[in-house]
Structure 1
Amino acid sequence: MTNDTSHSYLRRLGIWDGAAIVIGGVIGAGIFRTPATVAERTASGLPLLALWAIGGLLTLAGVLCYAELGARRPQAGGIYIYLREAFGSLPAFLFGWTMALINYPGSVAAVATTFADYFCRAGGLPIWWVKPVAVGAIFFIVGVNLFGIRAGAWMQNLFTLLKLAAVVMLLVVGLALTHGHLGGVLAVDPSHQVPSGAWIGALLPVLFTYGGFHYLNDMAGEVRDPQRTLPRALALGLIGVVVCYLLVNVAYLVGLGHAGLAASKAPAADLMSSIFGSRGVTIMAIGIACSTFGYCSIAIAGGARVLQTMGADGMFFRVVGRIDLRWRAPQIALAVLGAWAIVLILTGTFGQLLDYTTVGEWLGHAFGIATLFWYRRRFADQPAPYRVPLYPLLPLLFVCTVLGVIGATVINSPGDAGMSLLIIAIGVPVYFLWRRAQPAS
């Protein structure tokens, strides 16, 4: 088994590149839609903003845990590496089986289709263009990333700036609609009644919208001075996301009001159209297209490095574990991930795959953070480059939160949760059959 493949990569990512990856991996299309769902389940702007702040703090606890894990093991593969070292090759394989082979390409296919949808709306293209545009986007992203992490980082930094510009635009429009009166932000809507305990259901979409912060750990083998850069980039990026999310929700509240936000199907577009009309909807479509395109770039880059690490370990086809010596990029893994995502787009099966792997994704986060307890005990006498504050409170808080999310998902979507657990279970015999088929090393 190959224990470290990170030496084949070049460490070219700085702190701002890393922060851009965190921001780009978290901010996709969710913040332009999810606040309406949260508003439906809250009575006023105050609990709505409180939920987004609580979700941000809970996610920050997980990010700080990932910062210590990434500083301890600054190599490509992220959670796969931590599970392999702490719990063995079977849990690591099951994570890769669920995420790198299903969830990552499924999310890329889903978000690429969302990008294509908004791109076609902005360009006035007919609906039958959506699939060709989505496929073309994946071809382009994979093509750029074939030339190494530096080329991918330049593209990612550009689209992170564009999505932040869309956030700023929403804030400016929202404030312009208040005419200097911000008191309505926290006003209670007496006509909107919510049952007690509804805040739990409102917190779930908030936490899902904060997902995607782990991609930088997948690319840790290419981060310069990772013991210092990784923790700072993760914290800086996530804090930037929290600030953006809170400001966007303030803009929705002051521009649409709590009742208007709760009734909206597309709050970002509704907010823009209130000033700019149909042109505002087009502008917002361009902003969402840029945001979703940037997410696809990160997901493909991060997922390919997990696949490459699995291939180098013999847990996937060995050829996928190769790294191009000139560009220091996992070119075969990128091509495989991109090709599989394209198949999912053309067959239209990505929606079910994402629903079926949600529980597996959150289980991966829970067990990934749990490895921190193993590292602390196993290497208790060794100095750590970075230690998560308030240990063991923060990792326990995050693990309990994730388990709560899993429990709520099982209750709300028992069929999807059952299929997710079934997919994980199928990976067990696949693992043993794969190991038996591999030549002794």
Structure 2
Amino acid sequence: MENQQEFKKELNLLNATSIVAGSMIGSGIFIVTAAMSRDLGSSGWLLFAWLLTGLLTMSAALSYGELAGMMPNAGGQYVYIQRAYGKLVSFLYGWTVFTVIQTGVIAAVAVAFANYTSVFIPQLETKLVTISDAFSISYKQVMAIVSIILLTYINTNGVQSGKKVQLLFTIAKLFALFALIVLGLYVGLQTDIFSQNFAHPWDAFKTVVNEQGTTTITELSGLALVGAIGATIINSLFSSDAWNNVTFIAAEIKDPKRNIPRSLFLGTLIVTVIYLLANVAYLALLPMQGTPEGIGVLEKGIMFASEDRVGAAAANVILGNVGVFVMAGLIMISTFGCNSGLILAGGRLFYAMSKDGLFFKQASELNKNNVPEKALWVQCIWAAVLCLSGKYGDLLTYSTFASLLFYILTIYGIFILRKKEPHAERPYKAFGYPIIPALYIFITSLICITLLIYDTKSTGLGLLIVLLGIPVYFWSQHKK
């Protein structure tokens, strides 16, 4: 018998906005600024990269608003791609999301949660099973899997449970980040660190630590500087990703034609402002330059913060040694809340694929709580496998390029649908069309070309993951 359960519209604008912001803010903002500082060596260009990231993210979100208004269905971006390009391309998107993008991010965020939990419970660092030098399982990995299972279970109990967890953790981490910014600026601006960091804000250089422990510094200008920005911006773009997850749950949002575009704008705006201010706070608290062998956080600077944990180094300046525990607690809240939104949203995309015969048939069923329980558990199982594999970091690197390609394709879909379906209902039209969407496509395409030049291996493997979906698609169609 066909399952007649339907999604219930239980999410308002506040819930939708919390999913956008909460899914974006994970652990990246506390870490990636170190790598970006080594790549650019300049406070001005560092902030420019974060500002460009925010503008790109917001312009993409505003463009998605038109598609969300036209197609307020479960599955979001997958549905938009299918309407513009057909089933094969939409399957390739869903395939990439399932194999690495959604599940890989869930795994990585869960491991980040476990890593920072081990600050309070050092026993989690212990190895549980050692199979070989290359493969072992630690209690941290088990902790990561347990957190995924717990959040999946909460989300199978209905969207009411999921939205409460998401809203609570989003508010908590926004408040904590705001406190970090305010305290950071208050403490930092009483020193001369900020003025030192901005003494020569546009003098860019790349710093590389050699195997011998020495550093090589290369000045950047012209095309070399453009290439460096294009290559390192992948860090801030990854930290600002997952804003599109709210489109996956369109069928459960009240008045989706209005509330999805609004939540996309509000959520990305909030996170963009917070990310910029957080980096200003870092520059007020810590010297940008430092040395790898530095003893304290000020000697190491932003560039060489221990394990790239810039947020922890900043908290150390504000609160002393206790700052390490405060920051660990903040990142635990941030990552747990981030995964709540990712898990809630991802199951809806796989539900939509299953409805089209492009995913496990059982994933199209809703349980008594009107949620795709089996789709959520399939997502949970694969994310857990990625936690154990230890390869999720590589998968994320490979998939980031592919993720950008699908953003470009989706926004170009607006141009296609304007031509194919000129009279379709569009409650909201893309902001600044055609200039803003075209600019996004142009700039993001330049970033992709830069990545192909500067990181050929990772981008090539990203393409390979996408292309592997082609034989899988034709095999599944032949089987049917």
Q: TM-score, normalised by structure 1?
A: 0.93
- Name the structure 1 match of 2:294: none
- Name the structure 2 match of 1:275: 318
Cα deviation code 1:397-438 (max 9, x no counterpart): 222233223222222322222222222222212111111212
1:321 corresponds to which of 349, 352, 364: 364
Native 8 Å contact 1:33 1:268 kept in 2: yes
- Name the structure 1 match of 2:117: 119
Give unpaired runs (5+ residues) of structure 2.
127-138, 206-218, 290-300
RMSD: 2.2
- Name the structure 1 match of 2:235: 205
1:323 to partner: Cα distance? 1.3
Correspondence list, 1:3-402, <5 A:
8-128=6-126, 129-180=139-190, 183=195, 186-188=198-200, 193=205, 194-196=219-221, 197=225, 198-259=228-289, 260-264=301-305, 265-324=308-367, 326-402=368-444
SS in 2 for 1:51: helix
Give unpaired runs (5+ residues) of structure 1.
none
Cα deviation code 1:276-304 (max 9, x no counterpart): 22211011011111111112112212211
Q: Select between 66-75 and 272-281 the one with higher mean Cα deviation.
A: 272-281
1:360 to partner: Cα distance? 2.0
One-letter amino acid of the counterpart of residue 120, structure 1: S
Distance 1:275 1:210 in 2: 26
Distance change in 2, residues 1:47/1:377 (3 Å):
same
1:190 to partner: Cα distance? 9.9
Correspondence list, 1:416-427, <5 A:
416-427=458-469
The structure with more helix, counted as a fraction of residues: 1
Native 8 Å contact 1:311 1:319 kept in 2: yes
One-letter amino acid of the counterpart of residue 351, structure 2: Q
Distance change in 2, residues 1:425/1:175 (3 Å):
closer
Native 8 Å contact 1:79 1:364 kept in 2: no
Aligned length: 434
SS in 2 for 1:363: helix
1:205 to partner: Cα distance? 2.1
One-letter amino acid of the counterpart of residue 140, structure 2: V
One-letter amino acid of the counterpart of residue 359, structure 1: F
Native 8 Å contact 1:184 1:253 kept in 2: no
Distance 2:255 2:204 in 1: 52
Distance 1:258 1:424 in 2: 38
Native 8 Å contact 2:172 2:333 kept in 1: yes
Native 8 Å contact 1:75 1:219 kept in 2: yes
Distance 1:392 1:342 in 2: 42
SS in 2 for 1:402: helix
One-letter amino acid of the counterpart of residue 159, structure 1: F
Q: Select between 16-25 and 353-362 the one with higher mean Cα deviation.
A: 353-362
Distance 1:192 1:56 in 2: 21
Q: Select between 342-351 and 426-435 the one with higher mean Cα deviation.
A: 342-351
One-letter amino acid of the counterpart of residue 416, structure 1: S
Distance 1:239 1:276 in 2: 29
Q: TM-score, normalised by structure 2?
A: 0.85
1:252 to partner: Cα distance? 0.5
SS in 1 for 2:237: helix
One-letter amino acid of the counterpart of residue 380, structure 1: P
One-letter amino acid of the counterpart of residue 328, structure 2: A
Native 8 Å contact 2:231 2:447 kept in 1: no
1:169 to partner: Cα distance? 2.7
